[in-house]
Structure 1
Amino acid sequence: MKIHHIGPAGVNPYQRQLAKTERLATEKASRDQVEISKEAKELQEAASWEQARQAKLDELRQQIENGTYQVDPRAVAKRMIEYYRNHR
């Protein structure tokens, strides 16, 4: 008595599933991308702002120590008036 296999012989269904998942993983990997949010970009810029602010503070400190710092009385008065108008 001879038994003939019906369908393809030597096919491993698990191997096909493995190949399919590997192919999908490769496709997903090629489509991945990174986006930096607006907030993250602002945080990166904040570091440079801090350096510029520190440089300006150092410059003002030097002017005060040397006695060369000049106050603009009109600008101070203008800012005081704006402050009191906006904070009633």
Structure 2
Amino acid sequence: MGKKRKQGQKQTPSSQLAKTEETLTLQDQLNGDVLAKLKAAKKSLVEDEQAKEEERQARLVFERKQREKNMSFEELLEKYGDQGSKF
């Protein structure tokens, strides 16, 4: 029995052209104006997300303080119990 030999693929000019087209990135294909607009949109979205997160954190802190402010004496005693210092 003879061994089968694998034939190496010869690269034709058309396959080399396809490789160079594959290496082009999206940034290479877009105009500078479009790329700048996309970057500006991304930056504004990130800033909006950060602002929303800060607002959410502030609201949570406010709500926690309001809940504690509105606790009855019994609830405060249950929560803090004997943790207070005695004179």
Superposition TM-score tier, normalisation by shorter sequence: 0.3 to 0.5
When the two structures are superposed, what TM-score results if normalisation uses the length of structure 2?
Answer: 0.39
Q: Which is higher, the Rg of structure 1 or of structure 2?
A: 1
When the two structures are superposed, what TM-score results if normalisation uses the length of structure 1?
Answer: 0.38
